[in-house]
Amino acid sequence: MTPRSRFRDELLALPLFEEPHRSLAANAERYDRTGEFPWDSIQAVHDAGILTLGIGAQYGGRDLSLTEAARVMQALGRGDPSVALLTAMTLFQHLAQAKAPRWPDALYRKVVRDSRNGPVLMNAVRAEPEWGAPARGGLPATKVSRTADGWRLNGRKAYGTGSEGLAYHLVWAVTDEAATGNGEPLVGHLIVPGDSPGIEVIRTWDHLGLRASSTHDIVYTDVEVPTENFPGVPVSEAGRDAAAFLGVGLSLMALYVGVARAAQEFFVTFANERVPTSLGRPIASTERIQTIAGEIEAQLVQAEEVLYGLAGRLDAGDEQAFQRAAIAKLLITRSAVTAVQTAVTALGNPGLTRNNPLERHFRDIQCCRIHPPQDDAALIAVGRRVLSAPTRDVLPHGNVLLKGKTSEDAGHARGSPLDRHSGTAQRRVAVARDRGGAAPLAQPGSGYRPARGRDLPDAWRGREDLDQRRRAGAGTRRAPSPVLAGGRRRLGAPGPAAIRPVADRHRDPRNPHPRRVRRYRQARLARHSRGIRARRGPPPGAAAAGRPGDIR
């Protein structure tokens, strides 16, 4: 075993990867200020054997799980997220080739051989200045046209991460004419060697964060490539395999968790070293800073639990985990951003000073929201699926089970929260238990209706029974909430079984409504009181003016 491969295996075995980020952190500040391509850090990543992770076993490599990829990204993100992003783009191309080969076999084997001798960076270049990102739909303006020997590429791309150091560009392009039997154009990634004539990098990247990622514009002018370098598919079939690579995007978010961990590391060091003269001890000993440190840790634990929990399920082939990958990206980025913002807010001016790395971490963490799927797209997709798809799983509403119904059916089913007429399922359960009845649970095969019959008190046998009792003049009290019922039992107050029905109370036959009954009785008591005062006469010392019994 070579030293490089031994280090790589040890790296994957470490629980939190304490070492790899340190060699990158030493150069991170310099590259952030200059915006130069981080060649020294990329060479360090190559020397550690990380750039060849993800190469498939069929090409002499070792399979890399999504959990392992996430751990590597988090470790590199703690040191320099720009280098971590460049590394991630290369690793993900290896993972994609191992899962669904698209490269010409001879060309990819050349990539594997060259990767043993030096860094070989690859990335998919997809966005365009006018078009935007492919994730929002549409076709690119970048065109490929047939030639006698292969394809000719023309177009301009924006936000080409790693543009100055890419050994291979995978350019998202579409044919300029129908290339299929049904007259449909082809679309796909055209594999372009980075040293091909006609490639021009325009330095447009002057960004808030990830300043060393070299995400510049790239112009392709009459770039010639062989025929086998364009594995295009008809436009109607493009994107069908996108769901299979959602886990790759989830692992990418780990580098931003690494940024947040680096921010936490600085916050802890600063809090233990900062000793204000007015305090006379480190601010880490104050409850305010301890509370903030706890909040930061809570956010990061949440991000890591979602990240590695879902990555493990994806590695295990859990189909439901694929559906949750998009919303998991949103949750992870929210927690990471909140953790860094909390640290900056707590430290004040030191957190925004360029001499401190926390300021750089704050800028870098803002870039996590840009990666697809963006927050609005993820929420819309998940919301549509939740609102339109039938509930395939059993959905509990209190103690009543709804099964095989759409969201609209569930909302109007007996026992659902929208069943206002007969009370919610929780009220049914509370009353049944307080009066000695059985809890109304749905039985297998009974659909969404709660169990009915002799197990329920007479007052709660169903909506029809309630309507009949109301028409007969025997009103029924609304059952108390479980909290109120428990409080009554705690205090020894009478429960629902001891409360008399409204029909048994005194009623004015001309005014049968209970609320009006109270008003009637109050008015009657007031008249009675005035009559007593009138018979007794005015109290001693009362003014002579006015009627007897007036109270002024």
Q: Please give the CATH topology (third level) of the domain spanning 1-100+241-389.
A: Butyryl-CoA Dehydrogenase, subunit A; domain 3 (1.20.140)
Q: Given a cut of 60, is residue 215 above it in pLDDT?
A: yes
**d(C-alpha 54, C-alpha 120), whole Å:** 13
Residue with the larger pLDDT of the pair 457 and 180: 180
Sequence-distant (6+) residues with CB within 8 A of 211 are 31, 32, 33, 35, 82, 205
Q: Please give the CATH topology (third level) of the domain spanning 124-238.
A: Butyryl-CoA Dehydrogenase, subunit A; domain 2 (2.40.110)
Q: Given a cut of 60, is residue 409 above it in pLDDT?
A: no
From-to residues of CATH 1.20.140.10 in the chain: 1-100+241-389
What pLDDT, on a 0 to 100 scale, did the predictor assign at position 397?
Answer: 41
Count Cα atoms within 13 angstroms, Cβ side, for 188: 20
What pLDDT, on a 0 to 100 scale, did the predictor assign at position 23?
Answer: 82
H/E run at residue 274: none
Cα 215 to chain centroid, rounded:
26
**d(C-alpha 66, C-alpha 247), whole Å:** 7
Residue with the larger pLDDT of the pair 508 and 143: 143
Q: What is the pLDDT of residues 62-78, one digit of tens each?
A: 889 999 999 999 999 99
What pLDDT, on a 0 to 100 scale, did the predictor assign at position 520?
Answer: 74
What pLDDT, on a 0 to 100 scale, did the predictor assign at position 303?
Answer: 97
Q: What is the pLDDT of residues 258-282, one digit of tens each?
A: 999 999 999 999 999 999 999 999 9
**d(C-alpha 89, C-alpha 167), whole Å:** 12
Confidence of residue 456 (pLDDT cuts 50, 70, 90): very low
Residue with the larger pLDDT of the pair 419 and 108: 108
- Lowest average pLDDT, out of 37-51, 85-99, 196-210, 236-250, goes to 236-250
Confidence of residue 537 (pLDDT cuts 50, 70, 90): low
Confidence of residue 228 (pLDDT cuts 50, 70, 90): very high
Q: Given a cut of 80, is residue 435 above it in pLDDT?
A: no
For Cα atoms 473, 477, 480, give the angle at the middle one, nearest 5 degrees.
Answer: 170
For CA atoms 359, 361, 363, 365, give the dihedral sign: negative
DSSP string, 67-113: HHHHHHHHHHHHH-HHHHHHHHHHHHHHHHHHHS--S-HHHHHHHHH
What pLDDT, on a 0 to 100 scale, did the predictor assign at position 469?
Answer: 53
Q: What is the pLDDT of residues 304-322, one digit of tens each?
A: 999 999 999 999 989 889 8
**d(C-alpha 484, C-alpha 431), whole Å:** 11
Q: Which segments of 316-413 does DSSP mark as H helices, in order?
A: 319-347, 357-365, 375-388, 407-412
What pLDDT, on a 0 to 100 scale, did the predictor assign at position 517?
Answer: 66
What pLDDT, on a 0 to 100 scale, did the predictor assign at position 218?
Answer: 98
Instruction: Of 107, 84, 108, give the one whose Cα is nearest residue 96.
Output: 108
What pLDDT, on a 0 to 100 scale, did the predictor assign at position 394?
Answer: 39
Confidence of residue 516 (pLDDT cuts 50, 70, 90): low
Confidence of residue 396 (pLDDT cuts 50, 70, 90): very low
Q: Given a cut of 70, is residue 334 above it in pLDDT?
A: yes
Share of the chain above pLDDT 70, in %: 67
From-to residues of CATH 2.40.110.10 in the chain: 124-238
Confidence of residue 296 (pLDDT cuts 50, 70, 90): very high
Sequence-distant (6+) residues with CB within 8 A of 548 are 533, 534, 537, 538
Global pTM reads: 0.70
- CA Rg, the chain, in Å? 35
Q: What is the pLDDT of residues 464-484, one digit of tens each?
A: 454 555 555 544 445 544 444
